Amino acid sequence: MKCPYCGSVCADDALYCPSCKQPLPSARDESRSRQEKQREKRTAGQKALTAVLVVLFAVGLAVGGYKLFSWIRSYQLTRLYTRGAYAPTLSEVQMDDMRQGHAVIFFGRDGDQIYVPELQRSLSISGGVARMELADSEWFSNNVTDVEYADITLSPMLISESGRKTELPQFNFQVDVPVSPLLVTSPAEERTTVVVGVYPLTLNVVPGSTVFVNGEDVTESVDRSGYLSTYVSVKPIGDNVITLIVRTPKHRECRRELVIFRQHYDIELELDTTVSSVSTARTMAVTGTTEPGASIAVDTDHIPESLSVDPQTGRFSFVAQFTNYGNNIVRFRATKEGKQDAEITLNVNYRPSLDEMSGRAWAMDYPQLRLLFENWRYQSFVCKGPIIDSFTDDDGRKCLVMDVGTTERQLVILVNDTTITSPTLGRSYQAYAYVDGQHMYQSEYYPMLVALYMDVAG
């Protein structure tokens, strides 16, 4: 063949021209083919590297995005559980057994759970809340002599329905060492005046507590529910101080003093413990003991022929009469020559039966009631109408506002002394009540009655 560059004759299988040294066409094509193959390999390698880099970038972006999402979610939850709508609340509560405690309320989505590792407890969120109550004594050991309080730290964890766990901000609060619970139901006041030689003492403590009355251990008399019923002696010396001590495990000792006053008289005079301060009848027997040789004089309404006194034993009795519903005074004296009279004043709450009260009740005459409420004091009426309002008066009595009008508004105030503790507003009731005066409501005076019986109007 001829060289295409210089025209020299070259062998057919020659790769280069022997004269000009240029590559002959066949050799150049093969060389070009090799270069193209090398270039294709390089291109393929670059593409593979690019694909790997793209994949790595996508993975990194996904991981970074997940971490960013988790951080944002954690940050949002942290804000919700610190300053936002999900921030837990702490409140003091009294447990069913009278122990003092604290309630922690967590908020969240229904179906999620709150796990408290310090207590090994899980709380399900229902209705947007999860409530946890714990007695304060559970944070202390039996020996609390040198302890004043406990610093509590809870580390709650939120577990979503999908199983995702999120650590919530720590919850810190302080709990004082609780005092042993003690509820005295009789006497109702810390200072009480009596006219009897023994007085019922009833109280409730936490089951398992140790109880002392005037230094005497009476724990064995406390039943399984923590209830104690006993009697204490009351001498006619003025103040009788009754000291109660309660010691409950993991609590401070509770010490309380009750004062039961019994007047000292020159003449012995004492009521029987069977004499009640409540009567359902218009008459009631009053019995007791006085000094032998003394006489009894009754200063309030009674049946004269019922009075009797045994001069040898001092036993006496008479029948008191009650003219008014509610509180009635029974007053009598023991007299003996050469000695100062001894006097007892007894308050008796006359609460007639439903049959008696309904039989003596007048139909409502609202205009006359507003005018003659003083003259009609203690007269019973039938009050019928809807309850439109309720309130507590200055004496702590629960009052109801009833509209007894049929064609126009006519309001009466009822002191609720019935078994219906929470009448439904807007619902009509029929009540038997006696007149007790008048009371201001919304800047106007209305008749006030004490309702002893009430039921839904038929």
Domain spans, the chain: 89-176, 184-262, 269-350, 354-456
Sequence-distant (6+) residues with CB within 8 A of 318 are 285, 286, 296, 298, 302, 303, 306, 307, 308, 332
> How many other CB atoms sit within 10 Å of the CB of residue 155?
13
- Helices H / strands E in the chain, number of each: 3, 30
CATH architecture of 89-176: Single Sheet (2.20)
Residue range 269-350 forms a domain whose CATH class is mainly beta
Topology match between the domains 184-262 and 269-350:
yes
> Looking at residue 165, what is its pLDDT?
82
Nearest to 165 by CA among 77, 230, 253: 77
Residue 452, SS3?
A: strand
For residue 45, what pLDDT is reported?
A: 67
The four Cα atoms 189, 192, 197, 202 give a dihedral, to 10 degrees, of 0
Q: Can you say whether the dihedral through the CA atoms of 179, 184, 188, 191 is positive or negative? A: negative
Nearest to 256 by CA among 244, 247, 266, 241: 244
Q: Which residues of the chain have pLDDT under 70?
A: 1, 13, 21, 24-38, 40-41, 44-45, 52, 57-86
Q: What pLDDT, on the 0 to 100 scale, is given for residue 228?
A: 92
**Distance, CA of 183 to CA of 333 (rounded, Å):** 36
Cα separations (Å) of 433 from 334, 362, 365, 372, 449?
37, 10, 13, 16, 6
Provide the CATH topology of domain 184-262: Immunoglobulin-like (2.60.40)
Rounded Cα distance between 98 and 203, Å, is 12
The rounded radius of gyration (Å) of the Cα atoms in the chain is: 46
pTM attached to this predicted model = 0.57
CA distance 153 to 141: 17
Give Cα separations from 3 to 10, 23, 47 (angstroms).
7, 9, 40
Which pLDDT score, from 0 to 100, does residue 94 have? 86
In the prediction, which pLDDT does 61 show? 62
Question: What residue type is 316 in one-letter code?
Answer: F
**289: alpha, beta or left? (left if phi > 0; alpha if psi -120 to 50):** beta
Query: Class of 354-456 per CATH?
Result: mainly beta
